[in-house]
Amino acid sequence: MLQLMLHAHPRIAIPPETRFVLESYGRRRDFGDLTDPVRRRALAEWITRGSGRYFADLGLDANGVVEEIVAEAGTLGTALGVVFRAYARRFGKPRWGDKRPAYVRNLPILARLFPDAQFVHIIRDGRDCVTSLTEMPWHRGGVNQAIAAWAQAIDHGRWAARTLGPDSYHEVRYERLVADPESELRALCGYLGEEYDPAMTAPDRIAGESVPTRKTWHKRTRRPVGSDRVGRWAARLTPAELGLCESVLGERLRAQGYELSGAPRPPAALRLSYQRHALRHRLAPLRRTAVRTADRLPWTPAVAARL
């Protein structure tokens, strides 16, 4: 919904969710020295053809994008930026962005690739997020993974607010956005340095051009914005699931202004099962440190965009 709201702005283009930004960063050593145009071409071919349907969703000419990447500066961020710039150009817009839930766990990487980026983090009641995730056809981790995902997102957001500052990091509250879209979008545009446009409050009008039809779980994007999804957790979560949510997420929920229901604590076996899923979350600070350390190593190749 928020992706479409931004894409409805006359100066901003946000494409369907891509999957080649983080993946190409993870494979950057395979592509080698991108100051070599031959290696840039190999990277460009992988983005446009090796990343499958995600590039195809952008509606761009693959050959043209390949040649544009080869002609630009030799960094990974530049190559990725060329793709998004081409997508924005398709709509006659000067600014572009990208949306993907995994980005909140990889903000240091994105800041390396795009040093002038502005990050927008939408926050929703964790219990509603758990409810929504467990209903998704692609979600395989059950309630434990859904709870851990929200905890991670909130903790990474706290880190970003402290580290990136208000010029580079902005939070949008889901419940306020659906209740009063104009007020929240005006504040968001102020952060982005853009004029507010009323078209942003009707994302359903452009959902057909920006949401692939195969993503049936996004069918609600074709309906007007409303608050009917707020508080669904009360009817959808079992007492044990709600108890686990509030036991694990209670401090974070309160810090974000969400009231707890007072559900009883779940059995110890459920809490132990959750802790196994949350182990990766505890390693997140180490991953962030590793990325920042890599920036300072003398042999680390430049990745920042130079469009």
Give pLDDT tens digits for 173-231: 999 999 999 999 999 999 999 999 999 999 888 777 776 666 655 677 767 899 999 99
At 65-98, the pLDDT tens digits run 999 999 999 999 999 999 999 999 999 999 999 9
Q: Has residue 291 got a pLDDT over 80?
A: no
Q: What is the DSSP string of 65-119?
A: HHHHHHHS-SSHHHHHHHHHHHHHHHTT-SEE----GGGGG-HHHHHHH-TT--E
Mean pLDDT, the chain, as a whole number?
90
Mean of the pLDDT values across residues 290-296?
A: 66
pLDDT of residue 223: 76
Which pair of structure tokens corresponds to residue 62?
A: 């693959």
User: In DSSP terms, which residues pair with 123 in a beta bridge?
Assistant: 173
Q: How confident is the model at residue 279 (pLDDT cuts 50, 70, 90)?
A: confident
At 216 the pLDDT is: 57
- The pLDDT score that the predictor gives to residue 217 is 54
Phi and psi torsions of 173, nearest 5°: -90, 120
Q: Which of 64, 35, 36, 305 is nearest to 47 (CA)?
A: 64
Task: Give 172's DSSP letter.
Answer: E
C-alpha distances in Å from residue 7, one per residue of 40, 97, 100, 203, 206: 29, 9, 14, 8, 8
Task: For 216-270, write each residue's pLDDT tens digit.
Answer: 556 777 678 999 999 999 999 999 999 999 999 999 999 999 999 999 988 877 7
pLDDT at 276: 74
Return the residue matching tokens 């190999």. Answer: 42
> Which residue segments constitute the domains of the chain, with CATH numbers given?
18-97 (no CATH), 98-296 (3.40.50.300)
Q: Is 238 exposed, middle or buried (0-12, 13-18, 19+ CB in 10 A)?
A: exposed
Contact 241, 262 (CB under 8 A): no
Buried b (16+ CB within 10 A) or exposed e, 160-188: bbeebeeebbbebebbebbeebeebbeeb
3-state secondary structure of 122: strand
pLDDT of residue 288: 66
For residue 198, what are its two tokens?
Answer: 């009323």
Mean of pLDDT values over 146-164: 94
With pLDDT > 70 as the criterion, what percentage of the chain qualifies? 89
Residue 44 has pLDDT above 80, yes or no: yes
